[in-house]
């Protein structure tokens, strides 16, 4: 059996005709950049996330960059984030001349540890230099936003959510003594999404979006997206070309209508893996740790309608990771290491004084974890084969 890490062909098959028809409409409209397609997508994504505004941009990376620009992040500032994420999170900070201030991750969720965050912000000398807190909702599960937002509010520091892997993921936060479920990207000053093809909502090229309910911030991001021009050809500030193509927006609007069912399929597959690994005895003797859905409501009924984890990746923590990886690849099972290095260990920042203490949990995760195929079209037989092959490796 040949099982790819992600099978975009399987996703495309039932949608192909509709998508091609929508692309053709855009081709014939001769409106290729921004325009009504992009505006409609912006409204749809904002509505989906429960915020007032969406701002279509050229990529998830640019969503982060333009958000930090809009919040005046610049030379010397600290932006607090996790060292265990995709490079773009840090790249957007460093490109503005600011410094990433890393805090270690929680070993269960792989997300920024709010205890470490509290400790870091406790130092007033450091805190005064912190311009933004940038949590990442890694693998499709929200960071502990309840505690992160409380700290941010206490110190009056804006939060930008890197929700590139977490579109639609929800988590419970306390609001005026009540617990409410909020979607990724809707809790901070703004949230950033990526439509890179491998994300749960992926385009056919690059694309991204910033969402926000802050009208002033939204206006500024819209101006920055277009070289800071306001009005056209008059530049009060310096921005860039961060615009989104109409063709991508048209494709994404078709796909958005299927997102809920894809999330559900990924969760079903995650539950199935968890069960198969248990049955195979691999979890009991500690050879494998399966992912934990932290915000999973107690009962299936209360879980109804809550995308507590969207499983952009299904990550296992394993013994002999590198050998297992090779064994699975040799058996035609697509697996990947996200991520082999902490960001603080990257060559390009070695000469750069990145700041922060040690990051043992991030380094451990980088050594021990492996992503398995989890896409919605994966079948029970395929998952059985994956688990059987892993069992064979440990025999």
Ligand X SMILES: *Cc1c(COP(=O)(O)O)cnc(C)c1O
User: Which residues here bind ligand X, judged by CB under 6 A?
Assistant: 59-61, 85-86, 88-89, 136, 162, 164-165, 194, 196, 206, 208
Nearer to ligand X, 162 or 363 (CB): 162
Residue 302 CB, nearest approach to ligand X (Å): 29
Please give the torsion angle defined by the CA atoms of residues 257, 335, 350 and 122, in that order, rounded to the nearest 10 degrees.
60
Q: Which is nearer to ligand X, 42 or 206 (CB)?
A: 206
Rounded least distance, CB 207 to ligand X, Å: 7
Nearest to ligand X by Cβ — which residue?
60
Smallest distance from the beta carbon of 374 to ligand X, in angstroms? Answer: 15
3-state secondary structure of 287: coil
Choice between 161 and 363, CB closer to ligand X: 161
- Smaller CB distance to ligand X: residue 370 or 390? 370
Helices (H), the chain: 8-12, 16-29, 35-49, 60-70, 87-95, 114-122, 124-127, 145-155, 215-225, 246-256, 259-279, 300-303, 321-330, 360-368, 380-394
Give the shortest CB-224-to-ligand X separation in angstroms.
16
- Based on CB atoms, which residue is closest to ligand X, 240 or 297? 240
Work out how close the CB of 109 gets to ligand X at its nearest, in angstroms, rounded to a whole number: 14
**Pairing, β 130-134 against β 288-289:** unpaired
In the complex with ligand X, which residue's Cβ is closer, 92 or 269? 92
Residue 273 to residues 115, 216, 219, 372, 379, Cα–Cα distance (Å): 30, 45, 44, 10, 11
3-class DSSP state of 309: coil
Between 280 and 341, CB nearer to ligand X: 341
Residue 253 · residue 43 · CB < 8 Å: no
Residue 207 phi, psi dihedral angles, 5° rounding: 180, 160
* DSSP bridge pairs for 317: 289, 369
CB 106: neighbour CB atoms within 10 A?
18
If residue 130 lies in a helix (H) or strand (E), which one and from where to where?
strand 130-134
User: Which residues are within 8 A (CB) of 296 and not within 5 positions of it... i.e. 6 or more apart?
Assistant: 303, 308, 309
CB of 338 to ligand X, least distance (A): 9
Minimum CB distance to ligand X, residue 168 (Å): 15
| Least separation in angstroms between CB 305 and ligand X | 25
Q: Which is nearer to ligand X, 41 or 324 (CB)?
A: 41
Whether 121 contacts 151, CB under 8 Å: yes
Return the H-helix or E-strand segment holding 288.
Answer: strand 288-289
């Amino acid at each position: 059996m040949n099982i790819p890490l992600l099978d975009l062909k399987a996703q495309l098959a039932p949608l192909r005709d509709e998508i091609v028809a929508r692309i053709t409409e855009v081709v014939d409209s001769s409106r290729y950049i921004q325009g009504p397609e992009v505006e409609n997508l912006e409204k749809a994504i904002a509505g989906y996330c429960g915020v007032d505004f969406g701002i279509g941009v050229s990529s998830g990376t640019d969503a982060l960059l333009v958000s930090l620009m809009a919040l005046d992040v610049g030379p010397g500032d600290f932006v607090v984030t996790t060292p265990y994420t995709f490079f773009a999170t840090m790249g957007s900070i460093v490109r503005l001349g600011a410094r990433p201030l890393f805090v270690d991750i929680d070993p269960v969720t792989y997300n920024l540890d709010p205890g470490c965050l509290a400790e870091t912000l406790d130092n007033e000398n450091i805190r005064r230099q912190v311009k933004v807190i940038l949590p990442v909702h890694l693998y499709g599960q929200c960071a502990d936003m309840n505690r992160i937002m409380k700290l941010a509010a206490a110190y009056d520091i804006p939060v930008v959510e890197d929700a590139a892997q977490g579109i639609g993921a929800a988590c419970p936060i306390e609001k005026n003594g009540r617990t409410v479920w909020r979607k990724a990207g809707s809790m901070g000053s703004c949230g950033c999404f990526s439509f890179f093809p491998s994300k749960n909502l992926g385009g056919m090229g690059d694309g991204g979006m910033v969402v926000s309910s802050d009208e002033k911030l939204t206006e500024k991001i819209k101006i920055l997206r277009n070289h800071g021009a306001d009005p056209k050809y008059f530049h009060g500030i310096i921005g860039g070309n961060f615009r989104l193509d109409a063709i991508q927006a048209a494709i994404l609007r078709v796909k958005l209508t299927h997102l809920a069912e894809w999330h559900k399929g990924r969760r079903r597959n995650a539950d199935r893996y968890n069960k198969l690994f248990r049955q195979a005895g691999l979890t009991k003797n500690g050879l494998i740790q399966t992912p934990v859905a932290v915000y999973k409501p107690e009962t299936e009924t209360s879980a109804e309608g809550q995308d507590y984890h969207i499983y952009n990746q299904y990550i296992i923590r394993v013994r002999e990771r590198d050998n297992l990886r090779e064994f699975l690849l040799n058996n035609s099972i697509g697996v990947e290491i996200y991520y082999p290095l902490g960001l603080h260990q990257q060559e390009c920042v070695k000469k750069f004084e990145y700041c922060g203490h040690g990051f043992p949990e991030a380094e451990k995760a980088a050594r021990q974890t492996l992503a398995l195929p989890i896409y919605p079209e994966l079948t029970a037989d395929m998952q059985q084969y994956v688990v059987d092959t892993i069992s064979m490796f440990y025999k």
